[in-house]
Amino acid sequence: GNSVTQMEGPVTLSEEAFLTINCTYTATGYPSLFWYVQYPGEGLQLLLKATKADDKGSNKGFEATYRKETTSFHLEKGSVQVSDSAVYFCALYNFNKFYFGSGTKLNVKP
Amino acid sequence: EAQVTQNPRYLITVTGKKLTVTCSQNMNHEYMSWYRQDPGLGLRQIYYSMNVEVTDKGDVPEGYKVSRKEKRNFPLILESPSPNQTSLYFCASSSLSPTGNYGYTFGSGTRLTVV
């Protein structure tokens, strides 16, 4: 079947720290992979995506590489800001359906 | 502005009283979907639609109905709401590529309370 597993949060970092949020997936075939971000009181927003193995998605300083050999799509950012505090969701799209991870809350302290 | 519009944002209703949550998108997207978000459970898909008159069940369809008579609209219908349907609901839409999906645009959410 298809599923997404994310590291549990919350993750608490100081401003300018390096961020990694782990995401691994199980899927048949060739899924597309996504990261979404949800700020308090809002809907999810697409952060970045990758559609095939070895693709790197990037946006707003965030990056993630589609690793088929390790079935992973870890989210990274070199220097986080307080404004990055949000919940981050990893997702895959396969056979006409989206599958979301449970979300990882990130708190960035000044 | 490209967007997905859900209404209402907040709704309190009583058990058994039929309700409809509307969803409309202005991006000519083929794919539309409804999710519920509950603490500790993340996002769970209720129903999705690949195009007009094409709908299919997601992971938690029980107690819900949808229709897709026009490309832009995808209403969620609760015929007889129950307290376990108290949740935060999101509508989302996306366009489809030959190899997959370009990614969702989400609405702002509807917080439903059934008493």
* Mean pLDDT score, B53-78: 96
Indicate if the pLDDT at residue A85 is higher than 80.
yes
CA distance A91 to B106: 14
In angstroms, the separation between the Cα of residue B1 and the nearest Cα of chain A is 15
Q: Is A1 on the interface with B (CB under 8 A)?
A: no
- Start-to-end CA span in chain B (Å): 36
pLDDT at residue A78, rounded to an integer: 97
pLDDT tens column, B3-20 = 999 999 999 999 999 999
Q: Is A57 on the interface with B (CB under 8 A)?
A: no
Indicate the residue type of A45. Q
Mean pLDDT for all residues in chain B: 94
pLDDT tens column, A53-70 = 999 999 999 999 999 999
Q: Is B45 on the interface with A (CB under 8 A)?
A: yes
CA closest to B96 among chain A residues: A96
Residue position matching structure tokens 């439903």:
B112
Q: Is B101 on the interface with A (CB under 8 A)?
A: yes
CA distance B23 to A99: 21
CA dihedral B98, B103, B107, B109 (to 10 degrees): 120
- What are the beta bridge partners of residue A109? A14
Per-residue CA distances from B69 to B12, B18, B30, B53 (Å)? 27, 20, 12, 6
